[in-house]
Structure 1
Amino acid sequence: MSEEPQENIAGDDAVAAAFEPGTAGTRAEAVVDRLGELYWQKTYGGTDAFECLVRTILSQNTSDVASQPAHDALMERYGDGDLVDALADAEQSELAETISSAGLYNRKSEVIIDAAERIRGTYGGAAAFDEFVREDDPETVREALLDIHGVGPKTADCVLLFAGGREGVFPVDTHVHRIARRTGLAPADADHEAVRARLEADVPATKCGFGHTAMIQFGREYCSARNPACLDGPEACPLYDRCDRVGVDEVGESVVDPAEAAD
């Protein structure tokens, strides 16, 4: 097993989750256990809720390489006091310039300012919003987050996981969506919400956090959209024996989205 890093995907100190592979109760749990042996178990908690929301908005449709400098620049300019107040009062053009490295910066700046205004009006500020995310009923929190303009299911679930420290939350990004369907853990034509529902039903709550982060790492290193490692043979992929390879033609060395293979 590789050395466990000191930071989670949200970039802050995380709460260590117990990793006990044992005998998996479902195929999905067996896959997550294998990924847990490959990667790390520090998964969630320890992140300010509004900063986590902002960070996740910045990461939409872009890479960590692009979104991290945008987050750092935003925090340098606006992070001295209450971040909600600072961003609710921010000039949109100035914020857009600040986060320009993240891409789609005009839209993202509007979404961040709208979110800050909504949170200040509803909760009063960053501290109260943080308490709400950590302490209220998870479904209530999720519904409130989804009601914010520009916040989708993946963003809401990341806030619940990384800021709220909630067990049983398995955010679905493009990597998780692809891998769950390619391996056969979810139907080939399942949308993001259907994949989330299946994984949260089949993976124990305590393993959902590191299952999410480890699956992202696996997607980056082994199971890319166009060139998965299995094309180089069984020995090239550590999940080969647990994967249906839906949409992957190893003989023809071609790959399509699992939904296309199911048609």
Structure 2
Amino acid sequence: MGDPEPERNISGGETGGGEEHAFDPGTAGTRAEAVVDALGGLYWQKSYGGRDGFECLVRTILSQNTSDKASQPAHDALVDRYGGGDLVAALAEADQQELAETISAAGLYNQKSERIIAIAEGVREEYGGETGFDTFVKDGEPSEVRDRLLAFNGVGPKTADCVLLFAGGRGGVFPVDTHVHRIARRMGLAPADADHEEVREHLEAAVPAEKCGFGHTAMIQFGREYCSARKPACLDDPDACPLADHCDQIGVYPASGEVVDPAEASD
């Protein structure tokens, strides 16, 4: 097994979240599965689930448009101030300016605080509080849970899918953030002009359900370490990328040193 999952990241918990699981890397039926298997060998193979549904939702909202390094302190400060009881009730009744100050490390704190309070009010009204919402996330029909999450202002597909994965423990969910969106298209696992939802559909169709979770987290780590937006490791040295044999290098031109979004790549 490769490098351990970072102790604090979007999957939640001081150990990174999830439990170690081993999957046979010799049975890949698609290119996307082969890539995920390679990522599992490079980093980790895990199954996720078990996080508190509402806290996971809040944690993921805080992570929007910022890094884990910035959003984690905001999450910790929020839990320190409002945790200890029913987080839904505490945030539904929170003063917006006080909440904004509490989560200021995450950026866009005024917008995020308003949205978190509004969502907390909606969750309290519909599900009675933290326990009822957590039951819905874990036991409800996945498509119904996803649709309901998406109906909340400020919750997009990636946020909804992270809640389904890290709280609900749902198999076959492959959240697509900027790293996954870039890498899947650059490698040729999805059409070069595919949007986030189209990339998700391609990955979820090609990767076995039990491998989607660690495929998501490990691909993010790969994007941070090797396949960055502007300076992928292969740009100067093809051998510097451990997944070079799996990649179509869409939009990456080592000869000229140019890197463009895959959707803008020339034929």
State the TM-score, normalizing by the size of structure 1: 0.97
Unaligned 5+ runs, structure 1: none
The answer on 1:20 being equivalent to 2:19 is no
8 Å contact from structure 2 (residues 10, 60) kept in 1: no
Which residue is equivalent to 2:204?
200
User: Aligned residue for 1:225?
Assistant: 229
Of 200, 218, 225, the residue aligned with 1:214 is: 218
Deviation at residue 86 of structure 1 after TM alignment: 0.3
Partner SS for 2:56 = helix
Q: Output one character per residue of 1:12-61: Cα deviation in whole Å (capped at 9) or x when no partner.
A: 24133332211210000000000000001234112100000000000000
Aligned length: 263
1-structure distance, mates of 2:106, 2:74 = 6
How many Å separate the matches in 2 of 1:162 and 1:132?
14
Distance 1:103 1:125, change over 3 A: same
State how far apart, in whole Å, the 1-side matches of 2:153 and 2:72 are.
22
Alignment TM-score, normalising by the size of structure 2? 0.95
- Alignment equivalent of 1:41, drawn from 39, 42, 45: 45
Q: Aligned pair in 2 of structure 1 residues 10, 71: CA closer, same or farther (>3 Å)?
A: same
- The answer to which of 136-145 and 1-10 deviates more is 1-10
Q: Would the aligned equivalents of 1:4 and 1:42 in 2 still touch at CA under 8 Å?
A: no
Partner residue, 2:250: 246
* Paired residue secondary structure (1:34): helix
Conserved 8 A contact 1:4-1:41: no
Give 2:93's match in structure 1, choosing from 89, 94, 99: 89
Distance 1:5 1:227, change over 3 A: closer
Query: What is the 5 A alignment of 1:1-263?
Result: 1-5=1-5, 9-12=10-13, 13-261=17-265
Bigger drift between 137-146 and 10-19 goes to 10-19
Structure 2 letter corresponding to 1:216: I
- Would the alpha carbon gap of residues 201 and 262 (structure 1) be closer, same or farther in structure 2, given more than 3 Å must change? farther
Measured on the aligned residues, the alpha-carbon RMSD in Å equals 1.3
CA contact (8 A) 1:189 1:262 kept: no
Deviates most, 180-189 or 18-27: 18-27
Using the TM superposition, give the Cα deviation of residue 2 of structure 1 relative to its aligned residue in structure 2, in angstroms: 2.2
C-alpha distance after superposition, 1:89-148 (max 9, x if no partner): 000000000000100000000111111011001000001100110011100100010011
Q: Is the 8 A contact 2:2 2:40 kept in 1?
A: no
1:22 aligns to what SS in structure 2? helix
Kept after mapping to 2: 8 A contact 1:188/1:262: no
Distance across 1 between alignment mates of 2:75 and 2:29: 40
Question: In the aligned structure 1, how far is the partner of 2:245 from the partner of 2:134?
Answer: 42
Shift of 1:262: 5.0
**Structure 1 residue 6: Cα displacement:** 8.0
CA contact (8 A) 1:84 1:125 kept: yes
Gaps of 5+ in 2: none
1:64 to partner: Cα distance: 0.8
2-structure distance, mates of 1:16, 1:162:
14
CA contact (8 A) 1:58 1:70 kept: yes
